[in-house]
Every structure is written in C-alpha cells, then in structure tokens.
Amino acid sequence: MRSRINYQVYTTAVFAAIGGFLFGYDLGVISGVIVMSKFLLVFGDQTSINRGSLTSSIAGSIVSVMSIGCFIGALLAGQASDRFSRKYSILLFSVIFIVSGALQAASFNLSILLVSRLIAGISVGALSMIVPVYQSEISTKEIRGRLVSFQQLAITIGIAVSFWTNYGTDLYFPSSNASWQIPLGLQIVPAFILAIGIPFFPFSPRWLMAQGRDGEAFAVLSQIRSCSQRDILIEYNEIKQEIAAEHEQSIRSYAQLCHFPLRRRLILGIGIQILQQLTGINSIMYYAPEIFKQAGLSGQRAALLATGINGCINMLATIPAILFLDKWGRRPVLIAGGILMSLSMLTIGSIMGIHGHTLFNSTTNIAEVIIPSQTASYTIIVFVYIFVAAFASSWGPTTWLYCTEIFPLSMRAKGTSLTTAAIWATNCLVSFLVPVLLERLTYGTYLIFGIFCLIMAIIIFLFYPETKAHGHSYIPPKNTNLIGQTIVITGAASGIGRVSVVEFARLGAKVIIGIRGQERSEEIAQELEREANIIGMNRIIGYNLDLSNLMTVKNFADKILEHEENVNILLNNAGIANLSHSLTVDGIQTEFGTNHIGHFYLTKLLLPLLIQSQARIVNVSSIGHCFIENGINYDLSSSAYVPKVAYDQSKLAQILHAFELQQRYGQQGIKAYSLHPGLIHTGITRSIPTYFASIYQLILLIVGKSLYQGTQTSLYCSLSDNAKPGIFHADCKEAKASPLAYNIKLAEECWNFSENIINEKPKFF
C-alpha cells in the first residue's frame, strides 16, 4: 500500500469537522432548552404554562423546523458546492449560521425563534452535506472512512457540549433567561472560527480538476500528500481518467441520477439515510430528558444529568468507528450495529411495558409512564446508553460515509445533496412524530424502533454492497504493459479466475483460458473480451480443459505448445471443494486429482516453454492447508475420505508444488509462487454442507473479500518484483504458512508421488 498520509489531510478534515460540531450542537441544545422553565414562559402558550411543559405540537415545531431548514440547505448545497467550491461554500454557510445563532439567542417570541431555527437549519443542512464530501475528496481511499468519521465525532462532541452547557446554565441561572440564551448564543463561536479559518485550507483537488484547474490540483496534491512525486502523479492521473470517463458518459445533470447506472446508487444513498433516522436515534437525542423522566428519573436536573452522560457516551463510542471503519468495512458495521440497536430498543420497550404503569394526568393532559421498580428504570437507562453507543459506532458515521462513496466525482455533490436532503426530511418527520408517539404509545414507540432496526440490518445484508476501498490492492506500476505476453489461466469461468483474466487482458496480455467444454470456453472468452473492453481483438482464447481428466489436460497443453511461442505466466487458479467422495476419470480422488494433479501435469507439460519464456508459475492455494498436521495421506481411498481434509491436502500439495518447482527450476529462470486469495464467495462455496452454509456466510460477511479483492494477490505474485519465489503469499505479501509448506522432504515426496501418477496414466489415453 502506498503511504500518502500527511498530517495536513488530517488537519484539514478535523477543521472542516467544525461544521459537524455546529450540526451536533444545534441539534442537541434544543432538547435541554425546551424543558427549561424560563424558556417555557417566553415561548409557551397558556396550555403549556398551565401544564408546566411545552405542548407536544409546540415542542415538535421548535425541533422539527430546523430539520425543514436542513432539508432546504442540503438541496441548495449541491449546486453551491459545485459552483463556489467546497471550501467557499463552507464559508458561506458558516456566515449564515452566525446570523441565525444571534437571532435564536435574541428571540423573544415563538415566530422569531422558528424563523431563526429555520435559517440555522439551512446552514446546518448544507454543512452536513458539504463537509463529508470535502473530507472524502481530500482523503486517500485507505483512510476515507476515518476522515469522514471525524464529522460524526464532531457531531457527537457538539451534542455533548450542548447537553452540558444546558445542564450548567440550568444549574447557575435557573430563574433567568440566560439559562436558554447562553446555550443558544454560544454556537456562534465555533461558526466564527470555521468561517475565519476555512479560507486558509486547500481546495478539494478533485473539485479543482473538475473545473479544469489541473495545475492547482497538482499543487494541492503535492501539498497534502507526503508520498513521492511518482505516487502523486499516479493519483493525479487516476482522478484525471475518472473525470475523462465521466465526461464521455456526460454524467453531469441531476436528471442523470434517475437513470442507469446512477439510479440504483441514488436509491441506495437515499435509502440508507432514511433508515438511519428510522433507528430512532433522535427520539433519544432530541427528547432525552423526557425519556429519562419516563424511565423513572425524578426531577428536571437528574434527567439533564443523565442526558449529559448520554452525550459523552455518544461521543466516546464514535472513536472505535474512527479507528476501525476502514478495516472492518461498511456492511458488517451496519449489520452488527442494527442488531445491537434492535435488541436495546426491544429491551427498553419490553421493560417499560412490563414494569410501567401508564397514567393519564388530567392536569397536564399527558400520558405518563410510572416505573415503580428502580432496577427496571436503571436497566432502561443502561439500554438507552447501549443503544446510543451502538448507533455512534455504526450507523452514525457510516451512512454519511457511504453516501460520499457511492457517487462518481461529477455527481458526488448533487447525489449527496439529495441523500442529505432525504435524511433531513425523515429527521423532520421523526422529530415531529416522536413526542406524539411517546405520549400516545409510550413504550410501544421503542418496540417499533426496535423492529425497524432489525429490518434495517436485513436490508443491508440483502441489498447493500460493500464500498470500502479494496484492501491490499496490488496496483501494477503505471507503465505496466503486458503486450506480447501470454498468460494461461485455469478456472476462468467464474470467480477470481474470471476477474484475473479481465485484469490481465486490460494490461495488454494475450490470455488463454482453460474451461470445461470447447464451445463454452469460446463463449466465455468472448464474454470476457467484452468485459475487458477489447472485443474483437482476439486476445482472450478459450480451450477445453477439464483438470479432472488428464487427457484434456494433455490436449490443452498441446494446443498451447503448438500455437504459442511463449507463456509468461501460468496461473493455476481452478479449484473444487467439499464434494462427496468420487474419483476423477483417471481414478484419482477428485479434489487431489483436480486441484493438484491436474495442475501438476499441466505445468509439467508446459515446462519447456515456461523455462524458455522465463515464466512465473502461480498456484492459487488456500490458508486451509494449515489444518493438515501430519503430512499428506496418499491413500486416497474412500474409507479415509473427509471432504475438508481432502481439500486442505490438495492445497498443501499445491504449495509444495510451487516450492519444489522453485528448487528444481529456479536456476533456469522459473519463478513459482503459491498464495491464499482470501475468503471469497465464489462457486467453490456452492458445495459447502448446508449445516455449515449459514455460519460460513456470516464469516464471509465479516472477513470476506470481494472477487476483485480476491484477485489482488494473484496479480501481485504474477507481476510484482516484490513477490518472493517459492513462498506462500496472502494479502499481497508473504504470509505465514504451515511448517509443512517448506518441508524439503515432504515437497520431494509429493513431487515423486505426483510424477508417478502422471507417468502411470498414459495408459488411459
């Protein structure tokens, strides 16, 4: 992985995150302010004053009017940030925020307060869209999750600071208007810092290039990256190519978002933001003191204190996301978060339902939940905290990040502006409905959110692709040109073999693929030429090859020897697993016969040409070989057959094969490698026993790789000068193999055994 991380990128992302702080502060401050007695006197109507708290419609309007503003702001921000740049748009909306903050603090009636909160909303909504886009555009893909999570951390810090400010002013100025004016006015300070500071930070290099300001973009990249000039040039060229491709497809207007291929992304983006709000997070963020009162905490101050703690938990629980989101990926985090949130909400609702008594207070006109059991009320509070922690480390940061990742550069601002508008529209609806629901359904509200959270986890599992940058990518040097080279790949009909063919063909190589059935192999060769965008160039050639039938292996090799002058890479990629016991056409146990003997024979037949071409031989093995402890059991009869063991043995044999090839032919210019591609959902998993299938799915979900990721180590061993001949690799580097993998005696024994088999077999032809 190239190191391009510079402290400047971090500083810029952290500074821009002040926008997130404003978002959080403005969002959190209102929950405490609306329950203050002085606030009630200024903004409440007679009914509110009589009952001692704002009516749900007034409270709902004060809270949700800001979300309406946010909705408008998010829509405006797409155009603004494309036109005026990301950074000047941040400046513009910070200034608007300052004005609205002053107005809020100086409000003396409900209408002025509502208007000023609407204006505040416009800037918060705009900043909530522009900041993550700016952060993701200055970042490198390896740390994008982390940088965008700074925005969420800042939101949570904003919320926590606002909670504690409310607590403090309520404590020190209980009978003065300062109790609500200070919290509302204080938000001007960070907005002022953001407005003054942002002009000193760089433009987004991607935005600059989209404007044709390439020279400035290159200068910015040189300033914010600590890597070599060459790597900066690579990144610069990547962005340039991306922009050129988008220009070709004329992806520019909002209308494009409604058509293939952007429509699906827009639906995913809008969907995930709506779902984020349906978790019910803001039922807690906006109405936390009310909820803690419902949970049995008596007294205004106790509820505010519990809310303050809540804010801190929200903030601290965002830190794991900053540290691990880039590592774990988006999907597992969203699914795990959804499940945990669901369990918490269902527990809160059930305990309230079982232990609480709902009383209708005719003086206040409100349904109140009384929970006589202190244990029950504390358990509820603990689960509220667990819910918030689960949200903060999963859905909180991830949905914002996800939306910046799904759109191409030219549509990022416009696309994200729509997804952000969607979150605010839902936020508005939820914030308006929650007080009503809490009043009418009481504990049922939490049960509903609990069910939503579970459904969301399922939706993510079924429909949302992973957007994390491809881990451990092998990026061939920019000038890699395989024109004139011939590459032979087995198992190219599907899975990582297929992706490898496309990658090699794109780099200019002629690729010969071995697939069962002559007609099928020709068809797939054509399909792959289309995928690689080289249709009609005859650079991918399909021949019949069935590795479980040594006769076809011989025919396949003969065709290559007859037509090719060189073979520069032999990628022994095909593999089968977990079948019930069976024998190959030649009477060899099927896994061993196909995965190892078939490839052993093919390599042997091509060896003269491989030596002449100074070729690389790459065996796609598996980490599963580590389960073999006592060497290979060459008695491959059915009584000794255990599917997993048969597979793992064949994979150990492939590693020993590469090791021994290196020993025997290294001097003659051969370089042989073995590798583990990673856990990938490919055809090979089809035959996994049903009882294990769901567990395996879960494992794949957590540590699994995409097909593209799974191809990377094959590319690395085939092309990189850093790959180590004779050695086992994984994740584009040398990997820990079983001690048996480099056992000289075992390697020789396996070689001799395999050679005996293929020497005996000619009688079958």
Q: Which residues bind ligand BGC (CB under 6 A)?
A: 27, 152, 155-156, 159, 276, 281-282, 285, 314, 396, 423, 427
**What is the rounded CA–CA span in Å between residue 416 and residue 401?**
10
- Integer distance in angstroms from the first to the last C-alpha of the chain? 48
Say if residues 55 and 48 touch (Cβ distance below 8 Å): yes
Exposed, middle or buried: residue 73 (CB in 10 Å: 0-12, 13-18, 19+)? buried
Q: Pick between residue 312 and residue 583 the one whose CB is nearest to ligand BGC.
A: 312
**What is the rounded CA–CA span in Å between residue 654 and residue 323?**
37
Enumerate the H helices of 473-566 as residue ranges.
495-506, 518-531, 550-563
Q: Pick between residue 314 and residue 712 the one whose CB is nearest to ligand BGC.
A: 314
CB of 742 to ligand BGC, least distance (A): 50
CB of 647 to ligand BGC, least distance (A): 44
Owner of token pair 């520069």? 568
Nearest Cα neighbor of 329 from 495, 464, 150, 134 is: 464
CB of 460 to ligand BGC, least distance (A): 16
Nearest Cα neighbor of 503 from 524, 527, 532 is: 532
CB of 397 to ligand BGC, least distance (A): 7
Q: Using alpha carbons only, how large is the chain's radius of gyration in Å? A: 31
CB of 275 to ligand BGC, least distance (A): 11
Q: Pick between residue 118 and residue 723 the one whose CB is nearest to ligand BGC.
A: 118
Q: Is 433 helix (H, G, I), strand (E, B) or coil?
A: helix
Q: Pick between residue 31 and residue 674 the one whose CB is nearest to ligand BGC.
A: 31
CB of 386 to ligand BGC, least distance (A): 15
How many residues in total does the chain contain?
765
CB of 396 to ligand BGC, least distance (A): 4
Q: Pick between residue 133 and residue 557 the one whose CB is nearest to ligand BGC.
A: 133
Exposed, middle or buried: residue 185 (CB in 10 Å: 0-12, 13-18, 19+)? middle
Catalytic residue among 443, 647, 665, 673: 647
**What is the rounded CA–CA span in Å between residue 274 and residue 284?**
17
Instruction: Give, as one character, the DSSP assignment of residue 680.
Output: B
CB of 311 to ligand BGC, least distance (A): 9
Enumerate the H helices of 139-187 as residue ranges.
144-172, 178-186
CB of 159 to ligand BGC, least distance (A): 6
CB of 286 to ligand BGC, least distance (A): 8
As given in the structure block, the two tokens for residue 657 are 């094969």
CB of 184 to ligand BGC, least distance (A): 18
Q: Is 700 helix (H, G, I), strand (E, B) or coil?
A: helix
Kindly list the distances between the CA atom of residue 478 and the CA atoms of 126, 230, 234, 238, 242, in Å, as whole numbers in the listed order: 38, 10, 7, 10, 15
CA angle, 634 then 638 then 642, to 5°:
80
Q: Pick between residue 89 and residue 276 the one whose CB is nearest to ligand BGC.
A: 276
Q: Pick between residue 427 and residue 712 the one whose CB is nearest to ligand BGC.
A: 427
* Strands annotated E in 545-696: 569-572, 616-620, 671-676
CA dihedral for 172, 175, 178, 179, sign (positive or negative): positive
Owner of token pair 């509220």? 384
As given in the structure block, the two tokens for residue 128 are 């909530």
Q: Pick between residue 164 and residue 504 the one whose CB is nearest to ligand BGC.
A: 164
Exposed, middle or buried: residue 634 (CB in 10 Å: 0-12, 13-18, 19+)? middle
Q: Pick between residue 328 and residue 716 the one whose CB is nearest to ligand BGC.
A: 328
134 is catalytic: no
Instruction: Give the other-Cβ count within 10 Å of 745's Cβ.
Output: 9
Instruction: Give the other-Cβ count within 10 Å of 237's Cβ.
Output: 11
Q: Pick between residue 285 and residue 750 the one whose CB is nearest to ligand BGC.
A: 285
**What is the rounded CA–CA span in Å between residue 92 and residue 126?**
10
As given in the structure block, the two tokens for residue 432 are 């308006």
Owner of token pair 């404003």? 22
As given in the structure block, the two tokens for residue 333 are 């985090």
**What is the rounded CA–CA span in Å between residue 224 and residue 205?**
10
Q: Pick between residue 308 and residue 710 the one whose CB is nearest to ligand BGC.
A: 308
As given in the structure block, the two tokens for residue 216 are 């400035």
* Count of H-run helices and E-run strands, the chain: 32, 10
- Catalytic residues, by residue number, are 647
